[in-house]
């Protein structure tokens, strides 16, 4: 296994045509792989528009079983062809249950497993609780061809517990596919900076690189603000996209260096789980 991991984030707008959306990811992934990417992160629910801004029963028809989902069936051969790892964000149907999920594809195109979004938001413009059950998989870290990778999904990225648990499980890189933008109840509310700072904080506190891939575009008045980025294990933003670009950004890091710095900083040495346990019991 290489001492370095090269990760790319993809950013684009998505419409009603699922095949066109998959083709966009295919094109960007090929460009990123040609530039040297080993791990390629598309945005959340790139199969179509972000449908969760309202509660519409017809949208349940957009879900597929994980092993039958068109995004998975198309991108698995691409991952194998390019020799890259791709976390594929999908609307998953499992019997009568529906989840916001990621299917992790390894560099041979094989499925390593599925993660189901743990934290489900419910607010103006982001009414996900109508569609998705809270995930039942627990937080997941996968041994990929290029290292141990943890993946959270959008709202998960605001919770320090998720990042900490994935790092405790041995993650060397945290990935967050995302769909976030304007807040329809308050046009003056701009969350892009705090969204980024939250994940930079995870990077600092866990001494781990973090990558987030967001969508762009105006979807019936809901403006997704892009600003996808990758930060290093000190929280420094290394590469980023603007608020409108359809493109990718690539960055590489030294796994050995990060592991050494994590040990040296002592955050995991000095944790006091004996003092925390009472605060993590169910209410």
Point out the residues that are catalytic.
Answer: 44, 117, 154
Dist. CA 16–CA 77, nearest whole Å: 23
What is the Cα–Cα distance from 3 to 147, expressed in whole angstroms?
A: 9
Within its chain, how far is the Cα of 142 from the centroid? 14
The C-alpha atoms of residue 132 and residue 87 are separated, in whole angstroms, by 19
DSSP H/E element including 250: strand 247-254
Find the DSSP H helices in the chain: 18-34, 70-82, 160-168, 192-206, 255-265, 273-276
Name the burial class of residue 52, with classes exposed (0-12), middle (13-18) and buried (19+) by CB atoms within 10 angstroms of its CB: buried
């Amino acid at each position: 296994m290489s001492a370095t991991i090269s990760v790319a984030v993809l950013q684009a707008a998505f419409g009603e045509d699922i095949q066109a959306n998959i083709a966009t990811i295919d094109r960007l992934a090929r460009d990123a792989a040609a530039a040297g990417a080993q791990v390629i992160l598309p945005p959340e629910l790139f199969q179509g528009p972000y449908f969760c801004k309202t509660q519409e029963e017809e949208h349940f028809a957009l879900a597929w079983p994980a092993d039958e989902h068109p995004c998975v069936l198309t991108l698995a051969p691409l991952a194998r062809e390019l020799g890259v790892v791709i976390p594929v964000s999908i609307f998953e149907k499992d019997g009568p249950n529906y989840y916001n999920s990621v299917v992790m594809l390894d560099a041979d195109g094989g499925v390593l497993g599925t993660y189901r979004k743990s934290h489900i938001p419910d607010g103006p413009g982001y009414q996900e609780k109508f569609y998705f059950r809270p995930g039942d998989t627990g937080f997941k870290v996968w041994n990929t061809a290029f290292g141990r990778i943890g993946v959270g999904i959008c709202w998960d990225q605001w919770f320090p517990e998720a990042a900490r648990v994935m790092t405790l499980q041995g993650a060397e890189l945290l990935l967050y596919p995302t769909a976030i933008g304007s807040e329809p109840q308050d046009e003056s509310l701009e969350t892009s900076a705090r969204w980024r700072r939250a994940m930079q904080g995870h990077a600092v506190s866990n001494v781990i690189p973090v990558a987030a891939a967001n969508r762009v575009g105006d979807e019936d008045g809901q403006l997704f603000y892009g600003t996808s980025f990758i930060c290093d294990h000190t929280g420094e933003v290394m590469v980023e996209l603007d608020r409108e670009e359809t493109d990718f950004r690539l960055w590489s890091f030294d796994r050995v260096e990060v592991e050494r710095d994590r040990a040296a900083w002592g955050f995991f040495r000095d944790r006091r789980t004996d003092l925390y346990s009472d605060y993590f019991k169910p209410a």
